[in-house]
């Protein structure tokens, strides 16, 4: 925890810079051994990083979403998996802080607990559900004093360290009016199991995103966050906040990763030579210059898009129902553009990019997950197209 006298935002940012660099130095070790970023977590928590979005009234720094995204981006440049994992905690505290400032104190306890050092994680991922948060394969059964949840949650980042897991389930007791129940589960709850399944070879290994099995878990009413209609009909400020904070976080993580990849190419390219070219380096090759230009062009478009839409969200700009389109479009742009940068960079790196100790293949593998993270490419395009065409997003094909 930070000292009793809360540090200023400026001091926090200054003190975080060397910690971010140390996180970057450990990233390869975590990836190679499929380890959780425990040392990163300990240092960042002690520094106050996890308190960035918590209002000052609860012992935090009171940063709005645009400020939080800048810090997320800085950390991700050095250690993208660490930034991605901690984004789960940041988005819970951030969206609850937004609600609290707007006068909704129903989840004030989240801010109080976060201010005391408690860690919040997310359990929305489910097999076969590409609309996490809006529908669920996890069942929620109303019982006296709360709900019982049964289901299989996947991709639970921060599995080793969370104190509360925020997740959702579906109450189908009224088939014509299914409800989504959002809840927080304290770590000392009974009837759940964290199953150590995370051995992903593709990327973001250090997030330690294990599965969580809910076996009739009882969550009392005090930890029930929302009861809303299933699908887009149930989107309120809480649900929109989940999407905004989570997806803007994803977008900034992968944008920073793309910047790191470009910088890596720019650093190594002048040192690459070719016996057939008869030139001092591959940087003189016209095709490679075109590819570098394409990478720069891609990155130059992502940053302003993210910065603008995040700033407008922080300022409370009224886009009405179009906010869903705006949010998924920004994430989709960042994810797909960042992957194009990584894929082009691999062409430029050639065989050197395949060597594990060189470090580039790790960045390449991490970047590939950008398009898989919600909202994935297919879901994002459906939301954008239907939203702009004025079609019912909940309408099922006949």
Note whether 9-117 and 235-389 share their fold. no
Residue-wise pLDDT tens digits, 234-262 = 999 999 999 999 999 999 999 999 999 99
pLDDT recorded at residue 306? 98
Decide which of 201 and 96 is more confident: 96
Across 122-131, 327-336, 343-352, which has the greatest mean pLDDT?
Answer: 327-336
Q: Are 69 and 244 in contact (CB under 8 A)?
A: no
- φ and ψ at residue 179, rounded to 5 degrees: -120, 145
In this model, does residue 337 exceed pLDDT 70?
A: yes
Q: Are 60 and 120 in contact (CB under 8 A)?
A: no
- φ and ψ at residue 317, rounded to 5 degrees: -60, 140
**Could you tell me the pLDDT band of residue 5, with boundaries at 50, 70 and 90?**
very low
Query: How far is residue 22 CA from its own chain's centroid?
Result: 21
Mean pLDDT of all residues in the chain?
92
Residue-wise pLDDT tens digits, 358-396 = 678 899 999 998 888 888 888 888 888 888 888 888 887
- Superfamily holding 9-117: Acyl-CoA dehydrogenase/oxidase, N-terminal domain (1.10.540.10)
Domain ranges of the chain: 9-117, 122-233, 235-389
pLDDT recorded at residue 276? 62
**Could you tell me the pLDDT band of residue 163, with boundaries at 50, 70 and 90?**
very high
pLDDT recorded at residue 273? 73
Q: How far is the C-alpha of 142 from the C-alpha of 140, rounded, in Å? A: 7
In this model, does residue 64 exceed pLDDT 70?
A: yes
Query: Which CATH class, in words, describes the domain spanning 235-389?
Result: mainly alpha
Report the percent of the chain where pLDDT is more than 90.
72
In this model, does residue 287 exceed pLDDT 50?
A: yes
Mean pLDDT computed over 38-46: 98
Mean pLDDT computed over 161-165: 98
**Could you tell me the pLDDT band of residue 352, with boundaries at 50, 70 and 90?**
low
355 CB-near residues (< 8 Å, 6+ apart): 361
Q: What angle do CA 263, 267, 271 make, to 5 degrees?
A: 150
Coil, strand or helix at 234: helix
Mean pLDDT computed over 31-47: 95
Q: How far is the C-alpha of 207 from the C-alpha of 89, rounded, in Å? A: 12
Judge: domain 122-233, CATH 2.40.110.10.
Answer: yes
pLDDT recorded at residue 275? 63
pLDDT recorded at residue 1? 47
Neighbours of 391 (CB within 10 A): 11
Any idea how long the chain is?
Answer: 398
Q: How far is the C-alpha of 256 from the C-alpha of 337, rounded, in Å? A: 12
Q: Where are the alpha helices (DSSP H) in the chain?
A: 9-33, 38-47, 65-78, 80-101, 108-115, 237-268, 286-315, 323-349, 360-368, 377-389
Mean pLDDT computed over 172-194: 97
User: Please, is 88 exposed, middle or buried when counting C-beta atoms within 10 Å of its C-beta (0-12, 13-18, 19+)?
Assistant: buried
In this model, does residue 2 exceed pLDDT 70?
A: no
- φ and ψ at residue 199, rounded to 5 degrees: -145, 50
Q: Tell me the CB-side half-sphere exposure of residue 298, using CA atoms within 13 A.
A: 27
Report the percent of the chain where pLDDT is more than 70.
94
Q: How far is the C-alpha of 49 from the C-alpha of 41, rounded, in Å? A: 9
pLDDT recorded at residue 129? 84
Characterize the bridge pairing of strands 164-171 and 120-123. parallel
In this model, does residue 354 exceed pLDDT 60?
A: yes
Decide which of 383 and 230 is more confident: 230
């Amino acid at each position: 925890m930070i000292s009793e006298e809360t540090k200023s935002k400026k001091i926090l940012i200054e003190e975080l810079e060397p910690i971010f660099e140390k996180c970057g130095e450990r990233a390869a070790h975590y990836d190679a051994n499929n380890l959780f970023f425990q040392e990163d977590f300990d240092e960042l928590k002690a520094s106050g990083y996890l308190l960035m979005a918590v209002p000052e009234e609860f012992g935090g720094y009171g940063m709005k979403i645009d400020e939080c995204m800048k810090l997320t981006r800085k950390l991700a440049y050095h250690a993208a998996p660490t930034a991605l994992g901690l984004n789960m905690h940041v988005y819970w505290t951030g969206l609850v802080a937004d609600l609290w400032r707007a006068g909704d104190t129903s989840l004030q306890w989240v801010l109080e607990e976060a201010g005391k050092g408690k860690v919040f994680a997310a359990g929305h991922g489910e097999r076969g559900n590409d609309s996490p948060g809006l529908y669920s394969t996890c069942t929620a059964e109303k019982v006296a004093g709360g709900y019982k949840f049964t289901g299989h949650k996947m991709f639970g980042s921060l599995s080793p360290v969370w104190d509360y897991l925020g997740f959702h389930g579906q109450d189908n007791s009224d088939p014509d009016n299914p409800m989504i129940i959002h809840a927080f589960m304290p770590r000392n709850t009974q009837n759940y199991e964290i199953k150590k399944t995370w051995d992903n070879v593709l990327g973001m290994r250090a997030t330690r995103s294990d599965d969580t099995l809910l076996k009739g878990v009882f969550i009392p009413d005090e930890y029930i966050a929302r009861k809303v209609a299933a699908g887009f009909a149930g989107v309120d400020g809480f649900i929109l906040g989940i999407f905004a904070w989570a997806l803007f976080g994803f977008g900034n993580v992968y944008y920073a990763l793309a910047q790191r990849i470009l910088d890596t190419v720019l650093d190594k390219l002048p040192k690459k030579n070719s016996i057939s070219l008869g030139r001092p380096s591959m940087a003189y090759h016209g095709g490679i210059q075109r590819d570098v230009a394409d990478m720069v062009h891609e990155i130059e478009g992502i940053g302003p898009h993210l910065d603008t839409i995040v700033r407008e969200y922080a300022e409370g700009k009224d886009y009405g129902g179009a906010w869903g389109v705006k949010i998924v479009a920004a994430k989709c742009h960042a994810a797909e553009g960042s992957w194009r940068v990584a894929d082009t960079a691999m062409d430029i790196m050639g065989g050197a990019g395949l060597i594990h100790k060189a470090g580039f293949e790790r960045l390449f593998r991490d970047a590939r997950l950008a398009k898989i993270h919600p909202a994935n490419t297919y879901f994002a395009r459906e939301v954008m197209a239907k939203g702009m065409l004025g079609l019912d997003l909940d309408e099922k094909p006949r």
